[in-house]
Amino acid sequence: MRILISVATAIVILAVALLSLLTPIWTHFALEVSYDAGQPTCSSRTEPVASCFGLSGPDVIAASDQTIHALIFTGDFSFAGPIATNGEPFYTEAEQSHMRDVRVVLYGFLLLATAGAVFVVASLVRHPRDASRWRAVSRGGIWLIGAMVVLGVFAFVAFDAVFTLFHEIFFPGGNWAFPADSHLILTYNETFWELCSAALFGLSVLGALIVWYLARRRAATLEAAAARTAT
């Protein structure tokens, strides 16, 4: 029971951090930074960038807003692109298929996180003065920090390998590899994902620290009260 509380707590914190990255406040910032990253002439780029294919910064942000809206609200990913795409669907059939798979993974994770949140809250409501349960919640924060540090080290030294492994695990069908000049890659380039990974790490660790501190403090208060009652 205590282990389940810890695991569920870690998953809930991670889910909250992930949802924060789906807000326009973050996505617009990350897209603007990734769009402007580098900006040498197109002929000197080793990888295609959106600006070299007639996609302006506002085009990329508008396409991303529609993508995330469809991702969250089960919309259609076949929306028309900006002027640069001559009114054709912004994403190819293969890209649309991949985004539908992404939505399945996202919904699955959020469903798991929701179940975890209900489990933790119900456990604490039923036994609000059980210090061991609060300790389990605090351990969940520590476990998440440990996991994020390990993943962060691997991502720092081998981001491409971690990125590829993630996709091979969650998208075993293999429909996640696209040409470097595909609209999905041009919109969400490597710089964007590096920024998101760093932000997810920071938000997860911050959230875990807050949960660890508050739950640990609550447990200590309950244990002190129980000690006073026993004497």
Q: 69-88 pLDDT, tens per residue?
A: 999 998 889 998 776 567 78
d(CA 127, CA 105): 33
Instruction: Give the pLDDT mean for 9-32.
Output: 96
- The predicted pLDDT at position 47 comes to 62
The structure's pTM equals 0.89
d(CA 173, CA 154): 24
Residue 231 pLDDT exceeds 70? no
d(CA 177, CA 94): 10
- Tell me, rounded to whole angstroms, the distance of Cα 174 from its chain centroid: 21
Tens-digit pLDDT profile for residues 111-128? 999 999 999 999 999 998
Burial class of residue 72 in the structure, from the number of CB atoms within 10 Å of its CB (0-12 exposed, 13-18 middle, 19+ buried): middle
- The predicted pLDDT at position 55 comes to 85
d(CA 31, CA 191): 9
Q: Which two tokens stand for residue 53?
A: 């294919």
- The predicted pLDDT at position 148 comes to 94
Per DSSP, helices labelled H in the chain are 2-20, 24-36, 57-72, 93-126, 131-157, 159-170, 183-187, 190-230
d(CA 41, CA 219): 58
The answer to whether 117 touches 12, Cβ cutoff 8 Å, is: yes
Tens-digit pLDDT profile for residues 165-198? 888 888 877 778 888 889 999 999 888 998 999 9
Rg of the chain over all Cα atoms, to the nearest angstrom: 21
